[in-house]
Structure 1
Amino acid sequence: MTGSRDEEPSMVHLQSYLHGGTSSLLSTIPTLIVFPVYKTVFRQQIDNTSVHQAVGQLYKEGPVKLYRGVAPPLLMRTLNGTLLFGLQDTLLRQLSLSPQNIISTSALPALAGFGAGIVEAVVFTPFERVQNVLQNGQNDRHLPTLKTVLVRLKAQRLALGYYRGFLPITARNTLGSSLYFGLKGPICTVVAGQGLSPLASSFISGTLTSMAISLTLYPLSVLVANMQAQVGGEVKGVMACWRMLWHSRERSMVLLYRGGSLVILRSCITWGITTAIYDRQEKRSG
């Protein structure tokens, strides 16, 4: 009897990893559907073009290349949910049990999300690097396949190869995770108070939270895309890359936020579904 009691908290503890992975896996279906939208946004971030021009580029390249680079985000999406939700829950439990905790209980989910975001950046920066290289049409000739990209990046130092853009990714992921886990609960409570079902409340909560995060941190995503899209050439630091990006956008926030509306669409679909499925699984097992 004692053994089964000891195992029960461990099983509950591991369920958050399983639920996070399951919810993210199911959300890969809409991720696959909206990948052309994501790729359109990426082209706007790199080439500073309008939606019409970006779509025209993809149309000329043809349907075969349209889904070039889709494998990393699909794999990353599933693993990301497993790690992010599971690790945040693990850290939250540890923080809640700490006898010397001087932080407000309401702030603990955000703090745990911050810690999970750091680990997320360490694990998934290489995935994002490979994805951005594959999506850049300028690399099609000298890096035509996933294997050639992996070999080329492996030949370089980590800071220039797989971990190019690590600092802005860490900033984006830690802030994003903190905001997500800190806001989704309170927003869900407010929405549920309007008489909506728990599933609808979770979906709307995930949608609104991710929408706010995407818009707030969008400049960091643009910076990361520009830093990671090329392999080789002149290497510049984060601040130098930011100055170049800001100058290329004519010091205009409107131009910097090109593609932002499509990011909202993607966030509404993926994170809304992920949050709804995860919360539903957590309540069933609770």
Structure 2
Amino acid sequence: MGSSSHHNQEDVLKSADSTAWFRSYLHGGTSSLISTLTTIITFPLYKTVFRQQLHSTLVREAVAQLFKEGPVKLFRGVAPPLLMRSLNGTLLFGLQDTFLQQLSLCSMPTLPRNALPALAGLGAGVVEALLFTPFERVQNILQNSRNDSRLPTLRSILLKLASRPLASGYYTAFLPILIRNALGSSLYFGLKGPMSNTLRSYGCSPVAASFTAGVLNSVVISLPLYPLSVLVANMQARVDGGGRGVKTSWQQLWAARQHRLTLLYRGGFLVILRSCVTWGITTAIYDQLERHSR
């Protein structure tokens, strides 16, 4: 009788764990899906920044380029970030929660408990880079107007990349993406909880605290990691430019920016602003869903 009761308790615990596991993926996907509205609204802004990253142009010059190309081409390349954004939240929040649960079960006395969310975020960021580098590669090719005549359709781009080795095809610039995503995810999940709790202790409502934590987190992450995004954009934008190594690509980029940080960070303010809005909304929605489910 006691053995049967013990087995029943184990079954209940396993069921609860699987429900919590599924819930984190569902809430991550829902929050990201809702925040994709900001992706659509701010896509022209993102495309303006991409032109600045690629050609080191001023805002007015990038806007003039897009205006000249017309409204039809303005949203060329929006499909990959929309798909990536929806899947990204599902996997990022879900995997981080899964890794966190596994790490919590491990006995690691030398590792502080409050470091576990950041470590789980690091693991989620690595998986994210592995899965989404091809999406980013396709997106950057689509957004580069110099590819329009040679590769006019998404299918033509996919076929071209498939014909190349992975390192110079779909996985061009994998190393800087891996570093950026792993560090970014680790910082996000490591700082999100403490920031939100601190803001709530000062009287902020739970939703306001989550939104502000998402915004502040985005600033902390985006500012130092922005040069990696510029490097990735320049490495991935050309289909035939995937053979150069990271070191060579960085040297060429730094020389093209006249060895000046101000030119390297051109367009950075717009990226950080867009990221703040997106991650503020995503964090607020995710935390609210988690609170309601508990």
TM-score of the aligned structures, taking structure 2 as reference length? 0.95
Which of the numbers 4, 14, 17 marks the counterpart of 2:25? 17
Q: Give percent identity, aligned residues only.
A: 63
Residue identity in the other structure for 1:59: F
Quick check: 1:210 aligned with 2:218?
yes
Alpha-carbon separation, structure 2, partners of 1:101 and 1:155 = 49
Alpha-carbon separation, structure 1, partners of 2:125 and 2:58 = 32
Quick check: 1:160 aligned with 2:137?
no
Give the greater-gyration-radius structure (CA): 2
Alpha-carbon separation, structure 2, partners of 1:36 and 1:67 = 7
**TM-aligned CA distance change 1:214 to 1:122, over 3 Å:** same
Structure 1 stretch displaced more, 229-238 or 191-200: 229-238
Alpha-carbon separation, structure 2, partners of 1:87 and 1:253 = 35
Residue identity in the other structure for 1:151: L
Alpha-carbon separation, structure 2, partners of 1:106 and 1:216 = 23
Q: 1:279 Cα shift?
A: 0.4
> 2:53·2:233 contact (CA, 8 Å) conserved in 1?
yes
The equivalent of 1:265 in structure 2 is 273
Residue correspondence of structure 1 range 93-132 to structure 2 within 5 A: 93-132=101-140
TM-score of the aligned structures, taking structure 1 as reference length? 0.98
The equivalent of 1:278 in structure 2 is 286
**TM-aligned CA distance change 1:233 to 1:117, over 3 Å:** closer
The equivalent of 2:177 in structure 1 is 169
Q: 1:235 Cα shift?
A: 2.3
> 1:95·1:101 contact (CA, 8 Å) conserved in 2?
no
Stretches of structure 1 that go unaligned for 5 or more consecutive residues are none
Alpha-carbon separation, structure 1, partners of 2:109 and 2:137 = 37
Stretches of structure 2 that go unaligned for 5 or more consecutive residues are 1-7
Residue correspondence of structure 1 range 16-165 to structure 2 within 5 A: 16-165=24-173
Q: 1:255 Cα shift?
A: 0.3
Alpha-carbon separation, structure 2, partners of 1:56 and 1:39 = 12
Which of the numbers 197, 203, 213 marks the counterpart of 1:195? 203
> 2:133·2:177 contact (CA, 8 Å) conserved in 1?
yes
1:49-104 deviation per Cα after TM superposition (whole angstroms, max 9, x unaligned)? 01111011000000000000000000000100011000001111111111234211
| RMSD after superposition | 1.1
SS at match of 1:120: helix
Alpha-carbon separation, structure 1, partners of 2:53 and 2:207 = 34
Residue identity in the other structure for 1:270: T
